[in-house]
Structure formats: structure tokens, C-alpha cells
Amino acid sequence: MLGPLAVPGRPDDRGQLLALIFGIASLLGVDYRPALADLPDQKGWRPGDGADYGSLNTFARGKLDLGKVRRHWSEILRLIATIYTSKVSASDLVRALQRDGHPTALAEAIATYGRIFKTFHILSVIDSPPYRRGIKGMRNLQEGRHALAEKIFHGRRRELFQRYREGMEDQLGALGIVLNCVVLWNTVYIDAVLNQLRAQGYPVRDEDVARLSPFMRSHINVHGKYSLRVIHVRRLFGNKMRLIQLQVSVSTYCYHPGSNGPGSEKPWIDSTFA
């Protein structure tokens, strides 16, 4: 989660869940940096040892019960190992640690551990401009991906109509595959264009390249002809474009901005999704 965290329920419930995610992420070695929408209302946490933190006393008003972490430490490590070995997903684990909307004792222990890293995160957001810029950059990438997915998922007002969870997962899984294929195609052609510009002597600056996004979508035409057949697509291979054959594919066309759009004889990109 890179954008503002949106978790239903009371504020205390949302804070508990966010701390739980921080705990799981830190134990997995993941650098979790969410954008907190309610930053002024966030509070820091400290051990309940009565230490004086000076001007941070008001901020660090939460007291950590580290005894919970010590009592459940071996269980926490076993739980994290199941995620690390892919025996269970993190999302399923988060659901399993809730009973009728209330966290279990083990969830409380992980959340207590996570509040330490949540406090570090809040302090870094407040104190470090590069840290804030990094979060903003990740959030922009996420929003770009969502905008591209919204364009691809153009049918039925972009809403899921499957009755069962499995059907919804199938729809979202198919959307993810098509989305990844479009991103890959954009990346390949961005790289090809940059190489051509450099070969022609055009000054290509690294700071400009860093701002390019593979989530561009204005050239994509989602309304067109989809066909299931064995076809050939072009793929960048070294300095040459070579043909590869796909077993099953769904094909639509992305037209060059200067073309006549649908019906044009020369499609700019043949967006083929395996």
C-alpha cells in the first residue's frame, strides 16, 4: 500500500490494522512506507519506562507493552516463516488474526512490534524531505497503475458483477495479466525509442528518463477486435526486432497518435496478451 490507507471501521481499528501490517512487513524485511492521510492525528509509541522525551512527549504518548512481544516471540517467528516460505499469504494471515473483527493475542503482539516501526516511519515523514518525496513518487506510480487498469477494465462501468469471490478473483487476475502485458509492451518500446534517440545524437538526460512511466495509456485503444488465435508478435531482442510465436493470445490494437485510429491499415502497436 503506497497511497493513503483506507481501512473501514473505527479509528482505533484502523490504527490496529496498520500497526499489524507494519509488524509483518518489518519482520519480512520489507520497507513499508504508506502515505498517511491523517498524519497530524497520528501518535508515536514508546516503552512504558517513564523516560522523558522532551518535546516529543506529546507525540510519543502511546505506551508499548513489550511483554506481549516477548511472550509470543516464538509464535511470531513461526508465523512469519509460513509467509516467507509461501505456505500462506500475508493477506490471509491478517484475516486469520482477527476474530469477529477483534484481534487475537498474537495479532496484538505483532501490532505492538509494528508500532515501533510505525513511529520511525512517522518521524521520518516529518523530518526528511527525501523520504517524503520517495513516498510521493511511489504513490504516483500506484495511481498511474490504477488509471491504466481503469482504462483497460472498461466494460460494465468498471464494476465487478461476479456473485462469488472466486469469480471476482478470476476477473481481477485476468485484469492483472493484461495490465502487466501492456506495461511490458510500453517498457520495451520506451527503451527502443530511447535507444533510437541516442543513436541519432539526441541528448537524452537521465533525469528526464527517470520521469518516464510505463503506465502511459493515451495510445491504447481498448475498443476494437479481439481474437483468440495463434499469431506472431514482435519483441525487442538486443538491437533487432525478432518474431516469437504464442500458443494462445488475445489481440487488440494501439494506434499511433498520427494514424486514423480504428480501421487504420497500420497499427502502431499490436498489443498481444498471452
Task: Show the CA angle centred on residue 244, arms to residues 243 and 245, nearest 5°.
Answer: 125
- pTM of the entire predicted model: 0.62
The count of other CB atoms within 10 Å of the CB of residue 100 is: 4
Q: Give the pLDDT score at 162.
A: 64
* CA separation for the pair 158, 149 (Å, rounded): 9
Q: Give the pLDDT score at 230.
A: 53
Name the helix (H) or strand (E) containing 132.
Answer: helix 129-152
- Angle, to 10 degrees, between the axis of helix 165-199 and the axis of helix 129-152? 110
Strand partners, 11: none
> What are the residue boundaries of the structural domains of the chain, listed by start?
11-127, 163-273
- For residue 233, give the C-alpha cell: 508478435
Q: Is 138 helix (H, G, I), strand (E, B) or coil?
A: helix
* CA separation for the pair 60, 4 (Å, rounded): 22
Is 224:262 a contact under the CB 8 Å cutoff? Answer: yes
Q: Give the pLDDT score at 90.
A: 85
Q: Give the pLDDT score at 181.
A: 87
- For residue 39, give the C-alpha cell: 498524519
Q: Which residue has the cell 485510429?
A: 261
* CA separation for the pair 243, 232 (Å, rounded): 6
| Sequence-distant (≥ 6) Cβ neighbours of residue 210 within 8 angstroms | none
Is 184:250 a contact under the CB 8 Å cutoff? Answer: no
Q: Is 190 helix (H, G, I), strand (E, B) or coil?
A: helix
Q: Give the pLDDT score at 115.
A: 94
* CA separation for the pair 264, 100 (Å, rounded): 57
* CA separation for the pair 218, 203 (Å, rounded): 25
Q: Give the pLDDT score at 99.
A: 78
How do the pLDDT tens digits run along the chain, 274 residues long? 333 333 434 444 567 888 999 999 999 999 999 888 778 888 899 887 777 888 888 888 889 999 999 999 999 999 999 999 988 888 888 888 887 778 899 999 999 999 999 999 999 999 999 999 988 888 888 888 888 888 888 766 666 666 666 666 777 777 888 888 889 988 988 888 898 889 888 899 998 998 888 998 888 887 777 665 655 555 544 445 544 443 333 334 344 444 444 444 333 333 333 3
Is 268:254 a contact under the CB 8 Å cutoff? Answer: yes
Beta strands in the chain (DSSP E): 45-47, 62-64, 98-99, 102-103, 232-237, 240-245, 250-254, 269-273
Strand partners, 142: none
Q: How many residues are given for the chain?
A: 274
Q: Which residue has the cell 530511447?
A: 194
